Structure 1
Amino acid sequence: MKKVLSIAVTCILVFSCEQKSNNVTHKFTNDLIHETSPYLLQHAHNPVDWKAWSPEVLEQAQKEDKLLLISIGYAACHWCHVMEHECFENEEVAQVMNQNFINIKIDREERPDVDQIYMDAIQMISGQGGWPLNIVALPDGRPFWGATYVPRDNWIKSLEQLAQLYKNDKPRVTQYATDLANGLQAINLVEVEKDKELFSLEELEITVNSWSQYFDTFLGGHKRAPKFMMPNNWDFLLHYATSENKPDLMEFVDTTLTRMAYGGVYDHVGGGFSRYAVDTKWHVPHFEKMLYDNGQLVSLYAKAYAVTQNELYKNVVDESIAFVQEELLDKSGGFYSSLDADSLDENEELEEGAYYVWTEKELTELLGEDFAVFQDYFNINSYGFWEEENYVLIRDKGDEEIAEKHKVSVSDLNKVIKTSLQTLKKERNNRPKPRLDDKILTSWNALMLKGLVDAYRYLGNEAYLDLALKNALFLEREMLKEDGSLYRNHKEGKSTINGFLEDYATLIDAYISLYEVTFVEKWLDLAKNLLEYTQEHFWDAKSSMFFYTSDEDQSLIRRSVEVDDNVISSSNSIMATNLFKFSKLYPENNFEAISKQMLKNVQKDFVRQGQSFSNWLHLALYFNKNFYEIAIVGYNYKNIGQSIGEKYIPNSILTGAEKEGSLGILQNRFVPDTTLTYVCMDGTCKLPVSTVEEVLEQVQD
């Protein structure tokens, strides 16, 4: 299961080496040396003549009539490193690649627009996808062959055959590439559904019932392996269970969140989640830790805490933010992208999970008399065993059961566990750390910003708001251009790639949320400006959806429209929700009609595949249920807003001002020497009230 890379390649793979190896003489250096992406810099001293993706490189390929070999991966990708060591560092392989192809290396996190297209292509070709994603394409970028990880000998053989095929039978290759390109266009078409009725509550119930047959009610999540966290799935089900009073569904959400927090996918020693579990019980993770997962999961657990007051969920939020602060926070206020799965083991070899796993011998020596309790708590037994002599910490029992077995109080148990974990953290800090991808991405930062805002909103920790504000100011300062557009990436003071719809959608959402906890209209203004920019540069009038790429950017073989909710919700589903919320604040605009049409365009797939449209399903609930605009006006508006905000009321948007503010809903509401709250629907308000309890009564459906 593990793949070990020798120390000989460590300096190429350890990201910081690229900055610290100025005095090292490398046998090979290619064009990637000029890039900022840590993933691309890893490959800068391969013998392969790598180029970065650019219009000029495509022009070169067409001029030379040379096939493109496009290899896509990311810095935390274990199998990308394995293939690099086996293939791209090998001079024999490089000779075949350089002689027959123009070789392009892409960081999928920087260029998700390119990755989307070629991932769709490989799934059409082979029925499966993953990274590293390797594509062979015509000089104009149209693909005709693809594979993921390929061992060295098979790689050489495949490339030689493809080069010969293009040389000897170009018309056949061209026809296949043309057919595939047409297929890529067809699967991305979204039809405008003008005459459809809006998805109903009855259909929502059918959708959730259909989806529920895949629920693992014992271990949480879906009945399959690997298990991904899928925060938007559980976020919607939390919303639906509370909105529609579904206790069985709420129990499933609780089971899922508890098992995820108990599992090895959660880092019990240092906080934060790994990307997914390879098994059904959330035990053995694929050990890389991504900012986008942790940002979304902080939001999810904060909301779940607001509903349940479960201390486990609060601890997950606190510890996950502590992890992000410690490992991923740049001094500028931006957040880095990821920590790798691989790190150096005791033999100075790169090994997946080496930083995170423990042997029983280590634990016994480190914990002494506390080991017996720790052993039961984290299953240092057959249940927690991974492979070789290594254990991945996993819980499967609550505190009360363990405390009773060891005849101690829960409080004393928690002290033992806390002390033991601190001991392990201190020891772990002596190990070589996983490799850091220190590029900063707008959308991932926006997801973390939203997580911090939700953590402050529902847990009340002022430090989380301070951190959120620093990040929001960083994004405004470094990622927002003078013309109102966004950059995608940032590293060491440089930003080079224009933002995609995902960047705009997630940042608009985060800024709306930040306004709701601060009532500082600047954040709402920034969000509205970004929304208007997307309408001008991303809107597709033909499909009534948004393109993933701006009309300011280079045209690829397809201008994608992203609608399926994946580990990150689709950019169109986030945009549709943003438009819906803005329609409540700016009813004079056409925002609600656009949002409703977008929902109608995709709803035909909900019943069949609800889990792939879970963020859209929030919007269906909003349209079917009462949605409240809550306006707080008066000297105590901040405190009242905080007290309302800490309650889980997903079908609402909070506004507030001491006197009036610029929003229409806040106008003519001020009464001296008092603070009044107005609960409104579509601008029509109920009688104003002065207490939080009265507000909560008015927002009950």
Structure 2
Amino acid sequence: MAQEKKANRLIQESSPYLLQHAYNPVEWYPWGEEALQKARQEEKPILVSIGYAACHWCHVMEHQSFENRKIAEVMNKYFVCIKVDREERPDVDALYMDALQAMGVQGGWPMNVFLTSEAKPFFGGTYFPPQQWVKLLENVANAYKQNREELQESAEQFAAHLNQSELEKYGLIKSNPEVHEDDLKLIYKSLSKRFDKKLGGLEGAPKFPMPTNYLFLLRYYSYTGEKEALHQVELTLREMAYGGIYDQIGGGFARYSVDAEWLVPHFEKMLYDNGQLVSMYAEAYQVTKDPLYKDVVGETITFVERELMSPEYGFYSSLDADSEGEEGRFYTFTKDELQDILGDEEPLFSKYYHVTAAGNFEHGRNILHRRISDEKFAEENELELEVLQEMVANWKEKLMEIRAQRVRPSLDDKILCSWNALMLRGLADAYYTFGNKHYLHLAVRNAEFLLSKMKQGDKLFHNYKQEKATIDGFLEDYALLIRALIRLYEVTFEEKWLEEAKQLTNYTLAHFFDEQEGLFFFTDNSSEKLIARKKEILDNVVPSSNSVMATNLHFLGLYFDEEHYQQLSDSMLARVKDLLLKEPSFLSNWASLYFHKLSPTAEVAIVGRQAPEMRSEFSVFYIPNMILVGTENKSDLPLLQDRVPINGKTTVYVCYNKTCQLPVQTAAEALQQLQGRNKQESKFPSL
């Protein structure tokens, strides 16, 4: 008779990842004082195992080792075992990931790190197969018993490494506040050396979307007219949209492609990717007017609304890669399945999406992907474009009906403030570009949700589930929400969003800012103290919280005429400038800020009853170094003071550095002023 499974302490948690381990025979603790105190009292080493709900190899290691009673007995006997959801506790994850890399181990998840009873790391790794895992556990336990002093000494050295300043770590001792066009060109030149000029993205595999790289390239193109920069953006966005990394039937992007061709994805779908990619494709559409980008934005938002939105208009975190025990099964098809579903249209479908009898994935299954445009495919197959597009729409509808009957990938239904902020900004950007009021409705409802459910007093919380927000906000929560609220103001002219952004900014300055180094810590000074307090400088799949805050301070300094904000932004950029010039692919969001500093940001104030309508006319053009303010009546914002409609007509004031052009009454005239200014200062492409 099978032994009844007994719940461990994780049963009390709300994280789906932790709950997945709640019936393991391992006596898991969540990260917290109870586990740390037990380790100190019993003088036991700590095993911290870190992962996340959509992580394929996390599931594999759980099934092979953490569900195995004999292995669990070894873990329970020798260690205090702590399970961490890296998405809930990015501070804990970043700390021990840094330690792991200092040990010479390439990071990844699952991450398993061994700590002393004082939570200082001395050994670690990622995935281990069961036999190797048991051997490792026994060796570590034995070493901790027999060579405690040696391990303690090693742990102290790693702790000292973790407490090293990020500025010291990267040799950023001096600050260089000057900005030069030649440096911007050097940033681009360094980044361009890594371009994959055939398949898009950066060279090599795996390939991650990395939207901040391409947002910088668009800004660089707007400043210099460098066609190679725009071509790399167009190549990358097209190849991603045609590839298997994009869900050709249901919309939305997977986390990354395991190959260089964007073909075979790791099928998990993350909110943070999709939010940023909506922004990326919407912004690129302003430059190119490529209808493919509009389709991608629309389908991705539809996917997020359909599969990741809560009844309260919060957005869930992710969808798993696996279903029915197989990665990608939910999204892939065999040729025989497609024949049954589509009948006579299957051969054309298979040609369009490159389906074969052998398949291009496991078990003869096919990852659907494209290689050419609809126009070219229609021409090659002697079809009218409209007929083809109608057929494609019908195919998608039929396959979505089939997918609705399949076992769905697991949903990680926790709501994270920072990732919601990325989606909120994506929705606001999509509304700005395309004018679809449904996008604005979703954005406003999400902002209202975040500020009512994940903010208490002046403080943000990082997580939310079942009416509870339990983890103090990190800098990424504040920084990304501030950025999204600024954008929401620009597309609505409702000043409450801007005021919220300023209040949150002032909170970060009081609780996160390090006066000594001039950068922000990742954690609130009133939050739990770990063995080191870190700063996040490098941009990754999500832009670094310091680069986002420096950008926020730049723009809020303009909106509120706060010179202190501007000076802080300047000094933050100066701190990282030397590294930015050397390694732009790791600081591409900082690179975009460098662009904004190089020439004065245009301040466009629209005053009068037609302010919202006139604002929408500006979105037809790509003007990345511009802020928009507007009011139908009057406003206390510095940029709107003493600005009135002339002769009762809606009026536009274009200003730079507190110096204004003559007021005009059409968007076309204002755009001419913007174009004229940009032609003086750069090689801005003709509007």
TM-score, normalised to structure 2's length? Answer: 0.96
2:293 counterpart of 1:313 = yes
Q: Equivalent residue of 1:96, what SS?
A: helix
Cα distance, 1:269 vs. partner? 0.7
Instruction: Report matched runs for 1:17-56 at 5 Å.
Output: 26-56=4-34
Alpha-carbon RMSD across the aligned residues, in angstroms, is 1.5
Residue 541 of structure 1 aligns with an amino acid whose one-letter code is E
Structure 1 residue aligned with 2:684: none
Partner residue of 2:585 out of 586, 611, 620: 611
Decide which moves more: 254-263 or 55-64. 55-64
C-alpha change, 1:187 and 1:545, in structure 2 (3 Å) is closer
Decide which moves more: 686-695 or 379-388. 379-388
Residue 290 of structure 2 aligns with an amino acid whose one-letter code is N
Partner residue of 1:675 out of 635, 643, 650: 650
Structure 1 residue aligned with 2:682: none
- Does the aligned pair in 2 maintain the 1:298–1:317 contact within 8 Å? yes
Partner residue of 2:328 out of 343, 349, 353: 353
Structure 2 residue aligned with 1:214: 194
Please list the CA deviations of residues 564-617 of structure 1 after superposition, one character each: whole Å capped at 9, or x if unmatched.
000000000000000000111122440011001100111111232111100001
Please list the CA deviations of residues 191-250 of structure 1 after superposition, one character each: whole Å capped at 9, or x if unmatched.
776652424221121121122121111110111111101111111111211221111211
Cα distance, 1:26 vs. partner? 4.8
Cα distance, 1:55 vs. partner? 2.5
Q: Equivalent residue of 2:113, what SS?
A: strand
Q: Equivalent residue of 2:103, what SS?
A: helix
Structure 2 residue aligned with 1:276: 256
Partner residue of 2:624 out of 646, 650, 664: 650
TM-score, normalised to structure 1's length? Answer: 0.94
Structure 2 residue aligned with 1:73: 51
Structure 2 residue aligned with 1:16: none
Partner residue of 1:485 out of 456, 459, 466: 459
Structure 1 residue aligned with 2:426: 451
Residue 307 of structure 2 aligns with an amino acid whose one-letter code is E
Partner residue of 1:500 out of 446, 460, 474: 474
Residue 273 of structure 2 aligns with an amino acid whose one-letter code is D
- Does the aligned pair in 1 maintain the 2:475–2:545 contact within 8 Å? yes
Structure 2 residue aligned with 1:17: none
Structure 2 residue aligned with 1:577: 551
Structure 2 residue aligned with 1:594: 568
- Does the aligned pair in 1 maintain the 2:609–2:650 contact within 8 Å? yes
Structure 2 residue aligned with 1:165: 143
Residue 486 of structure 2 aligns with an amino acid whose one-letter code is I
Structure 1 residue aligned with 2:542: 568
Please list the CA deviations of residues 274-305 of structure 1 after superposition, one character each: whole Å capped at 9, or x if unmatched.
00001111001000000000000000001111
Cα distance, 1:648 vs. partner? 2.1
- Does the aligned pair in 2 maintain the 1:184–1:558 contact within 8 Å? yes
Structure 1 residues without counterparts, runs of 5 or longer: 1-8, 10-24, 345-349
- Does the aligned pair in 2 maintain the 1:517–1:645 contact within 8 Å? no
- Does the aligned pair in 1 maintain the 2:159–2:531 contact within 8 Å? yes
Structure 1 residue aligned with 2:636: 662
Partner residue of 1:178 out of 156, 162, 169: 156
Residue 29 of structure 1 aligns with an amino acid whose one-letter code is A
Residue 73 of structure 1 aligns with an amino acid whose one-letter code is G
- Does the aligned pair in 2 maintain the 1:242–1:250 contact within 8 Å? no
Structure 2 residue aligned with 1:230: 210
Work out the CA distance in 2 between the residues paired with 1:47 and 1:199.
58
Residue 143 of structure 1 aligns with an amino acid whose one-letter code is P
Instruction: Report matched runs for 1:7-156 at 5 Å.
Output: 26-156=4-134
Partner residue of 2:401 out of 412, 415, 426: 426
Residue 679 of structure 1 aligns with an amino acid whose one-letter code is V
- Does the aligned pair in 1 maintain the 2:551–2:593 contact within 8 Å? yes
Q: Equivalent residue of 1:104, what SS?
A: strand
Structure 2 residue aligned with 1:324: 304
Please list the CA deviations of residues 609-658 of structure 1 after superposition, one character each: whole Å capped at 9, or x if unmatched.
11110000111011112311111111111111122244321101100012
- Does the aligned pair in 1 maintain the 2:177–2:571 contact within 8 Å? no
Q: Equivalent residue of 1:391, what SS?
A: coil
Partner residue of 2:595 out of 614, 618, 621: 621
Structure 2 residue aligned with 1:21: none
C-alpha change, 1:122 and 1:504, in structure 2 (3 Å) is same
- Does the aligned pair in 2 maintain the 1:137–1:145 contact within 8 Å? yes
- Does the aligned pair in 2 maintain the 1:584–1:683 contact within 8 Å? no
Work out the CA distance in 1 between the residues paired with 2:165 and 2:197.
34
Decide which moves more: 651-660 or 81-90. 651-660
Partner residue of 2:532 out of 558, 563, 574: 558
- Does the aligned pair in 1 maintain the 2:335–2:357 contact within 8 Å? no
Cα distance, 1:393 vs. partner? 0.6
Work out the CA distance in 1 between the residues paired with 2:498 and 2:572.
23
Partner residue of 2:231 out of 241, 244, 251: 251
Q: How many aligned positions are there? A: 672
Q: Equivalent residue of 2:382, what SS?
A: coil
Q: Equivalent residue of 2:329, what SS?
A: coil
Structure 2 residues without counterparts, runs of 5 or longer: 679-687
- Does the aligned pair in 2 maintain the 1:338–1:437 contact within 8 Å? yes
2:243 counterpart of 1:263 = yes
- Does the aligned pair in 2 maintain the 1:26–1:45 contact within 8 Å? no
Work out the CA distance in 2 between the residues paired with 1:71 and 1:97.
12
Residue 142 of structure 1 aligns with an amino acid whose one-letter code is K
2:368 counterpart of 1:401 = no
Residue 400 of structure 2 aligns with an amino acid whose one-letter code is K
Q: Equivalent residue of 1:255, what SS?
A: helix
Q: Equivalent residue of 2:273, what SS?
A: helix
Decide which moves more: 461-470 or 415-424. 415-424
Cα distance, 1:315 vs. partner? 0.3
- Does the aligned pair in 1 maintain the 2:600–2:657 contact within 8 Å? no
Please list the CA deviations of residues 65-107 of structure 1 after superposition, one character each: whole Å capped at 9, or x if unmatched.
1111000000000000000000101111111111111110000
Work out the CA distance in 2 between the residues paired with 1:682 and 1:28.
66
Work out the CA distance in 1 between the residues paired with 2:278 and 2:177.
35
Residue 485 of structure 1 aligns with an amino acid whose one-letter code is K
Amino-acid identity (%): 47
Residue 690 of structure 1 aligns with an amino acid whose one-letter code is Q
Work out the CA distance in 1 between the residues paired with 2:357 and 2:584.
36
Work out the CA distance in 2 between the residues paired with 1:358 and 1:612.
37
Q: Equivalent residue of 2:166, what SS?
A: coil
Please list the CA deviations of residues 465-501 of structure 1 after superposition, one character each: whole Å capped at 9, or x if unmatched.
001011000001101112x010100001111100000
Residue 155 of structure 2 aligns with an amino acid whose one-letter code is A
Structure 1 residue aligned with 2:340: 365
Partner residue of 2:450 out of 475, 483, 488: 475
C-alpha change, 1:251 and 1:93, in structure 2 (3 Å) is same
Q: Equivalent residue of 1:392, what SS?
A: coil
Residue 86 of structure 1 aligns with an amino acid whose one-letter code is Q
Cα distance, 1:32 vs. partner? 0.6
Residue 250 of structure 1 aligns with an amino acid whose one-letter code is L
Work out the CA distance in 1 between the residues paired with 2:175 and 2:620.
40
2:518 counterpart of 1:540 = no
- Does the aligned pair in 1 maintain the 2:105–2:125 contact within 8 Å? no
Please list the CA deviations of residues 520-548 of structure 1 after superposition, one character each: whole Å capped at 9, or x if unmatched.
01000100000000000000011100000
Structure 2 residue aligned with 1:516: 490
- Does the aligned pair in 1 maintain the 2:205–2:259 contact within 8 Å? yes
Residue 208 of structure 1 aligns with an amino acid whose one-letter code is Y
Please list the CA deviations of residues 339-379 of structure 1 after superposition, one character each: whole Å capped at 9, or x if unmatched.
000101xxxxx111010111111112211222222122111
- Does the aligned pair in 1 maintain the 2:358–2:365 contact within 8 Å? no
C-alpha change, 1:195 and 1:229, in structure 2 (3 Å) is closer
Partner residue of 1:337 out of 306, 317, 341: 317
